[in-house]
Chains A and B, each alone.
Chain A
């Protein structure tokens, strides 16, 4: 099973170019789509999920042209939007039942079993009778993944699911995701590096509508190997370092500031070489795409 995106572009009214010639390949397994806010992640997800039209380009799932055959892709899709609401006065079970029915599980017994299994799987079985209006953010998000998973889709799209979740809820959520079958294509869009690091063997970085990197997650830091230096500095000195060196990321730790700088050799006294991780790679990629970056 293969999801292929070729030369997809999308421009919003007002000449906002959300996607520029995006091409990507997804196979079974988890795929992390990373990018800062407004990078075009959600647009791309919506295009795949049949909720938006691409201006140009093709998207196909195996031989299925998903841009043309929307009904086809919808049958195989599970989609958790970034921002969604639920009827506050309906119970979790009722709502999931409703969605399951519309997903084609019209047989009552089948549906009941699927609803129960999915609720258990998302650890919502205890509160299945409760009204959705009373759900916390984490529960809502888990319900969101439940509704996406209920008909056991081939393609699962989750758009920034962990934003705003507390660490415990985030863990739970990632657990559920990791449980999903290996045979699915799972696209996880996020701006949280850890989500990708923990879950996704493959990933892409998107920024200002362009794909800056795509490939194995493990390969992402490779260009920075032996080129990354770290130093703990005073907060006030940042501007000076920033103007002189290629600062990849800054990180606050116990009130002190740690900066990572890329370079062929040690930039100056006090910098020590470090092994690049995914976070470094992500920020480096994004920074490098900026006009005038990488002086």
Chain B
């Protein structure tokens, strides 16, 4: 019987057109996802490095796992239909009267649906297999992958998830005999996954990987530290926390199934013999036939006028809304939604490195945006399916379809009901967010902001999405394929098809950031107009949906088209024409703004541009170039009109050995050039407006040692709005000139000289360069390449400059840049500032203007100023302390601070970062100003400031040449500076936490390496994880091994020798030469191991026992194994001999350190005996994470209770 049930179920599943539609869609997704290296779904985005095959096993595994998770939309439907089938068709009484065991009944249906689901989902594997076998493009990036790589994720990912979804569906449907509870169940699974994500964000990885019902997090955890070689070959193993997750959830699923089976009764009515009261009454009572002759009452008045139609629409809306929301399961969905807000609101607000921000409204809104997007999307999908099919599922459609209402009444009613549901969700978000704020003790609710974002933006978007979902349901007329199509479409289908402009993506607007300083700023206008456009467009969609609305018994495509034709009439055409003209109008206006007033560029366009630049102008790279010696600038910023005028002159000096006849001058893109000229006879021989390039020939050559002035007058004016932000190639971003919180660099506004890939990015990456026929290139030149040591990272046209700026801004704003503030005055209601640098400064300057509050103090003779937004004063005392401590500690360590001021300046959180400029440190409002620091976490603002102040030595005094390893002397050393400073503020445990995080960042970073990992000495442009994270670890270890004093002495010597250096500039190798003498004898290998090679240690404590030797002493016997390996760029490791110092620590039962020693260890297993004078609790190798070890968990072991002499232990 079991087999019969199974066969029947499987057959009916596979005979459905919708199953095969899903199969085809999923197959296409699999094919495209693998080929693109990223799926059509944003959620499937996988970024494989260039050397990792696109069909690498870990990618296949990820693809299948994510499909299984997202596929709950499909699979839950399959299972629920299997469970619901007999109740829906009322065949259950028939089935249950058969000689059929309930076990066979449930298991048969379950397994049938499971096999059906597996069949449909096999499409994703099949699609990726086809992509690997017959790639339409990217053929060179496919590898031969064993079939096991396709099969294994189905066994470890898909199958357990399907079983879980099935168990839940069967539980809900068989218990209630209804379909609706399923929605709550599926939403619950999604919410659980999102909760796991939020736990992961808050760095509770163990909990996160266990809570996630889909095992996505734990599976990604397995390959987290993989390098290129491992990624290309290994299958994601089912082990560790991943194994626990899969086993745990499968066990839970089987338990749930067993419970469902145990409680299931094959009875006509749910809940066994208990009858519903209504039914009993109707059966038992013989109703007396009271004869009430029908009076020929007058016909009830009926109305078919338009206003009556509107009232009917409102009526339907309310009825459908009530129909959706009456269910207790809908309340469950709402509860899940607000739970989601709570979970994210409590643990994820404004997260930076595990620290949250104050729950300011914009941050609370931010944190709920993504999870709530998924949540609302799910609700929309379900509700749209439910509503479109509501009458048909209840078999009421023959009645309702013949009612005298036009199609638009039910359609608009249903849309309205969905819109109302979304309003409910928005209100829930609002209330929960406010509740979260209150519980955090935060009371500055910004109700207008809530209303704007929740109702003005999200509600509108979700209402549009609801319409779209309804439209697809109506169009496809099959519930589950419609879900899949809608999901694909609202996600990334259009960009996948090459249509990038938001005008192609129904309901979408350009992405936006709300900042405390600048509100919606430049995004307000596009949000408004795109929404207007979509509102107009939705009118058309409504008309089409009405024409397609399924009514009556004819449901074939041909019949529906015929019905559609018969439904076309004047009013509908008029409404459609109205919508069309309105959307043409608004769409035209958007196009005018985004493509005429501004440039619309896709990533491809940008690549093409930079390829063109390189091909056309690379020859100019070798032209001798004068250097900019001083900059004199007059900047007038008009924040209200987002307008900037930039005039002045730059003195160029010929520091080459030969006369210079020709200069290449660039003006930043989007600059309007009023004047660009030299102070001597010259002619522009070539002008390329596309790249803002001028080739100028001097009438008389500029002799060596002589100078000329470049005179410029440029203007920048933000006009209209953009569809996507501009490229990051030093074009002025749209967030640079804003009403409050303007922030731009010298590169954005000042001309620069020469062909410089730093400004107009050459295309990067092997395959991209190959696509444009460009030869491969190294991101940075090697130090010994000709001319490589002649320039800084900050531009080849200058290094140290004299700087003088007269800048003006709106009367209520302050304009800040580097240099002494000589004078400030007000003129015509505008404020003027005259800044002047006393000594040389790096040609790397920032300009910031906003309405600031200022906190000022003096540290020795340095003006310490913090400029902040008026409501962001929470952390400025901490910041001031950080600045003071940094100045004190670092000037002691590395020599004098070079400037007379240190300005910490807040800017809007369009970027979450901080950066050091000469005496000026701009910090994002989202990077410390509104952070909520707690004693148990590193208050990162302190560390960030220490890091940036470190740059005042490492960057603004000493800077390496623009070659491999240049970041060792800037970023790594700024990290080391921070390490020196945080010592004063943080407890040892927090420093350890931070170190472990840096170690983790490094290991994860190297796993995302696109080609090869480089050692620290050769750290490269994109090796951020090397020079920041590994750099921190290595310098931290070096400080521990060498001693802070000794190390700092060497570093100070280096700074004194190299500060404000003229070319040739210093390199990382030279830096190491300065360190070398400081390394004590017997450790000479560490510079090579840590800086010049990629070295890993594997440290393990195997066993630890102790015996009491006398009254107070214990002899500890520790077995450990130690391995040291060297890795190549791809990550292939080979063991190397070892004779290094390794720190060992012993803690007592209370966690107090009772032993710490560096012991010289060789590779392999060894046994140590350590005598301690307190009862040992735990043995730890390298407790402070000095050595780079991929698994630090096995570095520690609890010591077994010491045996006392020969007596048996008490237990």
A residues contacting B by CB (< 8 A) are 13, 46, 49-53, 68, 70-71, 74-75, 77, 79, 81, 83-89, 98-107, 110-111, 113-114, 117, 120-121, 123, 126-127, 130-131, 133-136, 139, 144, 147, 150-152, 172, 179, 181
Contact = CB atoms under 8 A, between A and B. Distances in A.
B406 interface: yes
Contacts of A70: 566
Contact of B399 (A71, A113, A147): A147
Contacts of B302: 75, 103-106, 151
Contact of B278 (A50, A101, A133): A133
B1112 interface: no
B399 to A, nearest CB: 6
A51 B552 contact: yes
A102 B398 contact: no
22 contacts: A50-B552, A51-B552, A74-B404, A79-B402, A85-B394, A86-B394, A102-B316, A102-B405, A102-B409, A104-B303, A110-B300, A114-B300, A120-B292, A121-B292, A131-B278, A133-B276, A134-B278, A134-B281, A136-B282, A151-B300, A172-B289, A179-B294
Given A102-B405, A135-B282, A87 B323 contact: yes
Contact of A89 (B281, B303, B326, B395): B326
B559 to A, nearest CB: 6
A121 B297 CA distance: 11
A53 B562 contact: yes
Contact of B404 (A77, A126, A130): A77
Interface string B312-348: 1001100100010010000000000000000000000
Contacts of B551: 51
A87 B319 CA distance: 12
B913 to A, nearest CB: 55
B301 A86 contact: no
Nearest to A46: B553
Which 4 A-B residue pairs are closest in the complex by CB-CB distance?
A134-B278, A85-B395, A81-B398, A104-B302
B563 interface: yes
B282 A127 contact: yes
B98 interface: no
A53 B554 contact: yes
B926 to A, nearest CB: 48
B572 to A, nearest CB: 13
Interface in B533-569: 551-554, 556, 559, 562-563, 566
A52 B323 contact: no
B1151 interface: no
B283 A136 contact: yes
A110 B302 CA distance: 9
Contact of A84 (B301, B399, B552, B562): B399
B309 to A, nearest CB: 9
* Most chain A CB neighbours (cut-off 10 Å) among B287, B292, B554: B287
A105 B300 contact: yes
B388 to A, nearest CB: 16
A20 to B, nearest CB: 18
B396 A134 contact: no
B494 to A, nearest CB: 35
A77 B552 CA distance: 15
B554 A83 contact: no
A237 to B, nearest CB: 36
Contacts of B319: 98
B1082 interface: no
A22 to B, nearest CB: 17
* Most chain A CB neighbours (cut-off 10 Å) among B283, B300, B553: B300
B290 interface: yes
Contacts of B311: 101, 106
* Most chain B CB neighbours (cut-off 10 Å) among A68, A70, A99: A70
A102 B312 contact: yes
Contacts of B559: 53
B144 interface: no
Interface string B244-287: 00000000000000000000000000000000111101110001
B304 A75 contact: yes
A100 B319 CA distance: 13
A83 B556 contact: no
A54 B913 CA distance: 70
B770 interface: no
B195 to A, nearest CB: 32
B204 to A, nearest CB: 42
* Most chain A CB neighbours (cut-off 10 Å) among B290, B296, B398: B398
Given A52-B554, A134-B282, A172-B289, A103 B404 contact: yes
Contacts of B566: 68, 70
Contact of B279 (A74, A79, A134, A150): A134
Contacts of A85: 394-396
A51 B401 contact: yes
A252 to B, nearest CB: 26
B448 interface: no
B86 to A, nearest CB: 15
A83 B395 contact: yes
Contacts of A101: 311-312, 315
A51 B398 contact: yes
B407 to A, nearest CB: 10
A87 B394 contact: yes
A86 B405 contact: no
Given A46-B553, A113-B300, A179-B294, A102 B277 contact: no
Contacts of A99: 399-400, 403
A86 B396 contact: yes
Interface string B377-402: 00000000000000000111011111
A17 B222 CA distance: 62
Nearest to A90: B323
B283 A81 contact: no
A229 to B, nearest CB: 40
A160 B283 CA distance: 22
A102 to B, nearest CB: 5
B308 interface: yes
B299 interface: yes
A103 B559 CA distance: 26
Nearest to A72: B404
B554 to A, nearest CB: 5
Contact of B402 (A49, A110, A133): A49
A107 B303 CA distance: 9
Contacts of A150: 300
B553 A52 contact: yes
B293 interface: yes
Contacts of B308: 104, 106
B301 A110 contact: yes
A77 B562 contact: no
A68 B566 CA distance: 8
A115 B562 CA distance: 36
A100 B299 CA distance: 12
Given A86-B396, A123-B287, A134-B278, 17 more contacts: A46-B398, A51-B401, A51-B402, A53-B559, A79-B399, A81-B398, A99-B399, A110-B300, A121-B292, A126-B287, A127-B282, A131-B278, A134-B277, A134-B279, A134-B282, A144-B399, A152-B300
A116 to B, nearest CB: 11
A117 B299 CA distance: 11
A244 to B, nearest CB: 41
A106 B303 contact: yes
B312 A106 contact: yes
Given A68-B566, A104-B308, A123 B290 contact: yes
Contacts of A131: 278
A137 to B, nearest CB: 10
Contacts of B297: 113, 117
